[in-house]
Structure 1
């Protein structure tokens, strides 16, 4: 686009502009962001299934190796992703904001893809330490995923579309988990074996990178092909969201000692403990308790995440409608949906300890994981309610603390297994793991009910955002950074 055209499409400080008809370049960005979340979370989940084939006792003289001696290292390998992920939680958002998210997002998925392809190679050359190295590298690179996508949504999504497309983009997290399990199960059972799953997902990521560097853009005014009408529509609908607040000092002490903020930390830690326990361990549970049919068990393991994907798109507008119609107050809505998202899955996991039937087990897992999507309209959006000015910093803090729970959760299973001299085929081990997760979920939900707030906090630096902006930001109820 010429500089003359650029000058003619300057921002209009929030004045309305007509919505261009049809499919636009902003929709291309949405699709690419959705694909980024889908591929990234798919890569995270590949090992949950592939590790079962990787540590199998007998590979029947096939062309790929298995490593039964790594069985005691399974949860260590699963946990190691988060060792890298925690490092960049605070800094990644600032880098994406200051230097543009396109390069960071593209580089992050490129590095993730290369490290995924290297998993079988380094595993064979070095041992399980090579797999841990690759997982840590994946975690480091994916630390840029959500900050970059969130920044891109802020630049590309008009306020009137942000709730809808923001929800759709971040639903890619559940979609990635839903697809990776059955795909990995099929690949592990093929003649190419478990290494093929990593090569395939690494290839998916590389294809995405090519498309991203060809068609992605930091913001509309940098895009070479966007029409003046579409650019005007996007930019005219976006107020100056920094609002002069970017230089407001962060009130670290006030944030750290705020009970509503502490309730967010507890809720986020509880969410990550339960979510990642289930995502990383469901395939192992299904295989060890119900038999060794890996393709079938991986397919059954994916069904709960299909429900999560569907309910993610459904619950957010319901929560918005309840608030908009003033059926309940903002904080009551947050507490209701947070309780549905954390408390009810906790109760369902307790019920899971009393069933032995495979179908009943899958049904309970579908309920637990599906209802967990309600937390996106609970604590996960409450940061913005408390302080729009510092919401990004608050999210980085809570996500850093929650990542600690993600690291510990799979290692806790090893601790229980070793202390109790259990085997993974022993249902008693799984009952302890599920009941612990249930307790963490229920405690987090109860703490949020008691101490959460929907009021703008005094340490928001006295800067009150525009009511329209706050309303729409609150509607972006799917900002999971798990």
Structure 2
């Protein structure tokens, strides 16, 4: 009785719909997760030794606008100005730096699928919460790991950080499938996953401030790791895995969500994940390819753009932080514009979900690829290069209305597992691209970077074409056999161990035959 009265009081006091509370906390979660992910891209420019002569090769390297190159100590060696550093710096070549920048994704890839399975079994709240908490603690410990183990220590701690963040995307996709009706998904997808751009904005910008004036690079890790721990405390108090578990959601919102959300897992216990059917699903594999293409371009930008601004265009560290943040400001703003247009068109039935996903996959892949190539031919014109990179990332904002939420369309019941499968395989791009770019750009020349950007162009456009041909926004039969039945060419036995007599009478609406009998 006391508990019921407490809930009624909270229902009256808390008037904000709880799915919006989840959305706001999700935004903060993604923002902080990306600050922890990308902060090394900035700090590594201050962790390594630089010994660059003031001379430059016309057409291949850009002149230093300040006429000096900053590195350690307080003397001049071989026409190079050297500045004192509060911490030890390390002699890591470009390939080593590329390997360190990719280390996060080794762990990130491995925990995607387990994270999705854990989220479906134990709920998205705790799977996501404990994942980000572990990443936050590892981030705080990063300076200690580097001091103890150098490059090896940094590599290991970054892998651990990746382990923690792997479950984040599949857990959030599952939470959205449980909390958000289809007509609102593009908006919430932009709100929550757009938090990545908030992280990409504030991560480089705040890092640049903390690192300016010869600041201690360890402070970057302490700051962002500490924010993650604080976020976890609020997450535990405010968010829950489903509307039906929420202690102070309004009755009106609970009824609305139960009526309009199609995920069966909201109303009943799910059957075991149909892995055999999932692995044979063409729409899912096409979605994997589209995600690989997008992540190839996206991870190249978030991981290596600060190095391009610092080492090629010769921005100082504070300018690098600002210039690296601007493209993501554009992406964040445009993600909401694209989401609004996509939801509006679907709600008005001006186009189908499938058509919408294909439109915004093209917007977020092929158009950015074009601007990236144009930027690579801007040479040492810093204003033009920055403007083109901003345009490129602005159009990438369509990603949150397409590939990022497409797993919820084709499999609302198993969205966590499918999202884990898609994002886990796509994140392999994060392993490949930093190391590949380190190999392609040993001398940091414009020509070498142009080859790297042409690689990005080919992958983005190629995968986009495949998705345009075979992509889908329709719920797949294996996601709800009770509703759709089995397709005529299914010869691998039942997906479920037991079915009732009522279930055996269900007929697939697209195939004139009954569901396959079970043992």
TM-score (norm 1): 0.84
User: Which residue number corresponds to residue 303 of structure 2?
Assistant: 280
C-alpha distance in structure 2 between counterparts of 1:256 and 1:217, whole Å: 30
Does residue 327 of structure 2 align to residue 304 of structure 1? yes
Answer yes or no: is 1:427 the counterpart of 2:450: no
Could you report, residue by residue, the CA deviation over 1:373-415 in whole angstroms, capped at 9, with x for unpaired residues?
2133233333344344444433222222112222111111133
The question of 1:50 aligning with 2:48 is answered: no
- Which secondary structure state, in structure 1, belongs to the residue aligned with residue 128 of structure 2? helix
Is 1:40 aligned with 2:33?
yes
Structure 1 residue 334 corresponds to structure 2 residue 350: no
Task: Return the alpha-carbon distance in structure 2 between the equivalents of residues 232 and 174 of structure 1.
Answer: 33
The answer to whether the 8 Å contact 1:20/1:233 transfers is: no
**Aligned equivalents of 1:162, 1:454: Cα separation in 2:** 13
C-alpha change, 1:355 and 1:192, in structure 2 (3 Å) is: closer
Matched, 1:380 2:383: no
Correspondence for 2:468: 449
Shift of 1:43: 0.6
Instruction: Give the Cα separation in 1 of the matches to 2:416 and 2:129.
Output: 21
Q: Is the 8 A contact 2:102 2:434 kept in 1?
A: yes
Cα distance in 1 for residues equivalent to 2:208 and 2:459 = 30
Partner of 2:84, secondary structure, is: coil
* Gap runs ≥5 in structure 2: 51-70, 73-82, 485-519
Aligned residues of 2:174 and 2:416 also touching (Cα < 8 A) = no
The yes-or-no answer on 1:93 pairing with 2:86 is no
Aligned pair partner of 2:103 in 80, 83, 86:
80
Identify the residue that residue 167 of structure 1 maps to in structure 2: 190
Contact 1:55 1:71 in 2 (8 A): no
Deviations 1:98-139 (A, max 9, x none): 223333333222211121112111111111111111110110
Q: 1:270 to 1:303 in 2, by over 3 A?
A: same
Structure 2 Cα separation of the partners of residues 394 and 227 of structure 1: 31
Judged with a 3 Å threshold, the aligned counterparts in structure 2 of structure 1 residues 314 and 124 are, in CA distance, closer, same or farther, namely same
Q: Between Structure 1 and Structure 2, whose CA radius of gyration is higher?
A: 2
Q: 396-405 or 297-306, which moves further after superposition?
A: 396-405
Partner of residue 469, structure 1: none
In the TM superposition, 1:119-130 aligns within 5 A as: 119-130=142-153
Alignment partner of 2:135 out of 99, 112, 120: 112
CA distance in 2 between partners of 1:27 and 1:328 (Å): 26
Matches within 5 A, 1:291-370: 291-356=314-379, 357-370=381-394
Shift of residue 355, structure 1, vs aligned partner: 0.9
User: How far apart are the structure 1 equivalents of 2:398 and 2:17?
Assistant: 31
| Deviation, structure 1 residue 244 | 4.8
Asked if the contact 1:20–1:229 (Cα under 8 Å) also holds between the matched residues in 2, the reply is no
Residue of structure 2 in register with 1:241 after alignment: 264
Instruction: Tell me, in whole angstroms, the C-alpha distance in 2 between the residues paired with 1:355 and 1:160.
Output: 41
Equivalence map 1:11-22=2 (5 Å): 22=15
Q: CA offsets per residue over residues 33-86 of structure 1, 9 Å max, x none?
A: 221111111110101111111114323333222213455411111101011011
Distance 1:287 1:111, change over 3 A: same
Identify if the C-alpha distance between structure 1 residues 268 and 230 changes in structure 2 by more than 3 Å, giving closer, same or farther: closer
When residues 93 and 277 of structure 1 are mapped into structure 2, their CA distance, relative to the original with a 3 A threshold, is: same
Contiguous gaps of at least 5 residues in structure 1: 10-17, 466-482
The 1:249/1:56 distance shift into structure 2, 3 A limit, reads closer
> What's the TM-score once normalised by structure 2's chain length?
0.78
CA apart distance, 1:306: 0.5
Q: Pick the aligned partner of 1:408 from 429, 432, 440.
A: 432
- Match of residue 156, structure 2, among 108, 130, 133: 133
- The 3-state SS of whatever aligns with 2:227 is helix
Q: Cα deviations across residues 228-278 of structure 1 (Å, max 9, x unaligned)?
A: 6666666666567325572165152x4434433332121111111111011
What is the deviation of 1:189? 1.5
In the alignment, the residues of structure 1 paired with residue 226 and residue 235 of structure 2 have an alpha-carbon distance, to the nearest angstrom, of 14
Alpha-carbon separation, structure 2, partners of 1:334 and 1:169: 18
Q: Which is worse superposed, 103-112 or 161-170?
A: 161-170
Indicate the structure with greater helix content: 1
Contact 2:354 2:472 in 1 (8 A): yes
**RMSD, aligned CA:** 3.0
The separation in 1 between residues aligned to 2:143 and 2:273, in whole angstroms, is 46
Q: Is the 8 A contact 1:158 1:235 kept in 2?
A: no
How far apart are the structure 2 equivalents of 1:319 and 1:231?
25
